[in-house]
Structure 1
Amino acid sequence: MDTEAVRSFVRAAELGQLRHAADELGVTQQAVSKRVAALERELGVRLFTRTARGVELTLDGQAFLPHARNVVAGVERAVTAIRPGARALRIDVLGLRSAQAVVLHDYWRSRPGTELDVVTLRVNDPREAVAAVRAGELDASFRSVTDPAVLPREVRMIHAFDSPLELLVGPRHPLAGARTLTPERLRRHRIWVPGIAPHSEWAEFYDELATEFDLRIDAAGPNFGNEVLLDILADSADVATLVGSRDRYLWPAQHDLRRIPVAGPTLAYPLSLLLPRTDPHPGLPPVIDHFASLPPLPGPVWRPSWAPARRPATS
């Protein structure tokens, strides 16, 4: 069914004249008449009777009108849902307990009424996120492309904020009593990070981190999720993992896990934002300004070689 024909019928029914409907829709009266006639042929009924004053609904037209209004309203909602500026800002995050989601939630709480659609693509290769931004399926994505030269011209990558790492251990681990740790003290300890996917940005991050500080980062074994990882840490005297300081992890009180900051230097995971180079969603600039307003990490900071430069606030 031609939705423009249905729209023409609805406006003609509401205004009582084909000419007035044509003026409102920006087409000729003849075009509206042809659309209505085609709709009548498709339905096999007469929707209007013509009078000297314009058009009046037949009984079939009266029965069809409320449903036709629903069709028009549904089409308008569908178009609004995908039109930048008319729909909520759609941002992809790695997970709903990740630092990206936590900072976005802080932004949303500080601006009540902000239309925000937080989604998770659930892909490991950042090129898939680039393609989604390029196609307009996303307004932005919290992904990093470690070689910016491969970005298409339509997409750019900017620094969002840095996520400092912490060591997460159980109470029996030899480092469990430390208040802070240097990267040097992590050497020779097994740091288990399951789920490091090939070709992902975090695979390159951990490769560079391990090389720089001579760390033993182990990704062996299947990834059964955070709950299983936390159970293993709670029972282990030699396994630790690295987590972002803003990442949300929940565990039973009896696990007695410890989150220990790493400093001297601070190990920072750089979180980047992929967005269109032109005509970004109007809701993006204040989000980017919010990221830029976050306090910088104190003391010396290590970031991987591919991390984009920190951006100043634009307002």
Structure 2
Amino acid sequence: MDVQALRTFVAVAQTGQFQAAADELGVSQQAVSKRIAALERHIGVTLLVRTSRGSRLSLDGQVFLPHARRILAAVEQAERAVRPGSRPLRVDVLNRRIAPAQAVYRFYRSHPGTDLDAVTLDKENAVQAAQAVLEGTVDASFRALPADQVPAGIHAERLLDTPLELLVGPGHPLADAPWVGPADLAGHRIWIPGIRPDTEWAAFYRALSEAFGLSIDALGPNFGDEALMDALADSASLATLVGSGDRYLWPHNHDLRRIPLHGPTPVYPHVLLFRSGDQHPALTALRDHLRTAGPRTPHDAWAPNWAGPPAEPPG
């Protein structure tokens, strides 16, 4: 059914005049007449009866009018639902403890009133997340996706580099170091449970291990962050890696230590994936915020070769 014809019918019903409806819709009276005639042919009844004073609804027209109004209201609601800026920007932040979630939260704090939803997709890898963006499940996702795996229709920007830190208990040999180099971790047991094969973080830690001769242990069940913190606190040899912007909590008596890595500084390259040509104003504002107010990539940053270059700040 022609939506413009429905709008024209409702306009004539409200004004009682073909010319008045034409003026309201910004078309000619002839166009109004053609639309009404086409609508009446489509449904097979006469909706409007012309009189010397204009037009009036037929009995069928009176029955049809409330349905036409409901159809037009539904169309308007559907258009608003997908119109840029008329719905919340949905951003997949991977995990609410790690840097992307914190970056989106800082953006929201600096842009009060922004209509925004931070979500965590149940997707195992970056390729699946990119597909979810392409399908419109979310507007954007923070992932580490090699350039040659970015699907057509998706734009990728490396907008958030997260420096890694060593997290150890008080008895670890490196517990009191102000910073350590990645190569200094060779021979130490680094435990990161829960790394799933065929994910971008598995590829990242594999590249990190190969670059600096590290032994990263992903064996054993992942019982959650609290169990990992307990194990670190009780061990004189166990360590793990976390992002500098990640928010982990542990009991005060655990006395865990976060030690920066430098020389070079390994960074996890979070890439923002979004649909090419997406004009949502909150997405534009988020990208601008990350370029200008987001944490800067360290001068000695190391990232896998497949990560591509970080986005250039404006100006």
Normalising by structure 1, what TM-score? 0.78
Q: Quick check: 1:158–1:274 contact (8 Å CA) kept in 2? A: yes
Q: Quick check: 1:264–1:299 contact (8 Å CA) kept in 2? A: no
**Partner of residue 292, structure 1:** 291
**Partner of residue 92, structure 1:** 92
The 2-side partners of 1:236 and 1:25 are apart by 77
**Partner of residue 178, structure 1:** 177
1:67-216 alignment runs, 5 A limit = 73=73, 75-146=75-146, 148-216=147-215
Between stretches 3-12 and 134-143, larger displacement belongs to 3-12
Q: Quick check: 1:166–1:244 contact (8 Å CA) kept in 2? A: yes
Shift of 1:250: 2.1
1:211-222 alignment runs, 5 A limit = 211-222=210-221
Between stretches 14-23 and 151-160, larger displacement belongs to 14-23
- Gaps of at least 5 residues in structure 1 are 42-46
Normalising by structure 2, what TM-score? 0.78
Deviation string for 1:190-211 (max 9, x for gaps)?
Answer: 2111221221111110001011
**Partner of residue 239, structure 2:** 240
Cα pair distance change 1:149/1:257, threshold 3 Å: same
Deviation string for 1:102-127 (max 9, x for gaps)?
Answer: 11221222222223232222212211
SS of the counterpart of 1:105?
Answer: helix
The 2-side partners of 1:134 and 1:167 are apart by 36
1:25-104 alignment runs, 5 A limit = 28-29=32-33, 31=35, 54-55=55-56, 73=73, 75-104=75-104
The 2-side partners of 1:286 and 1:85 are apart by 11
Shift of 1:77: 3.4
SS of the counterpart of 1:306?
Answer: helix
Q: Quick check: 1:85–1:283 contact (8 Å CA) kept in 2? A: yes
SS of the counterpart of 1:204?
Answer: helix
SS of the counterpart of 1:178?
Answer: coil
The 2-side partners of 1:187 and 1:198 are apart by 23
Root mean square deviation, CA, Å: 3.7
Between stretches 217-226 and 72-81, larger displacement belongs to 72-81
Cα pair distance change 1:2/1:196, threshold 3 Å: farther
The 2-side partners of 1:37 and 1:186 are apart by 79
Q: Quick check: 2:3–2:72 contact (8 Å CA) kept in 1? A: yes
Shift of 1:236: 2.9
| Percent of aligned pairs with the same amino acid | 46
The 1-side partners of 2:254 and 2:39 are apart by 69
Cα pair distance change 1:33/1:145, threshold 3 Å: same
SS of the counterpart of 1:117?
Answer: strand
**Partner of residue 228, structure 2:** 229
Residue identity matched to 1:151: V
Q: Quick check: 1:158–1:308 contact (8 Å CA) kept in 2? A: no
Cα pair distance change 1:68/1:31, threshold 3 Å: closer
The 2-side partners of 1:199 and 1:56 are apart by 65
Residue identity matched to 1:185: D
Shift of 1:256: 2.5
Cα pair distance change 1:163/1:49, threshold 3 Å: same
SS of the counterpart of 2:197?
Answer: coil
SS of the counterpart of 2:77?
Answer: helix
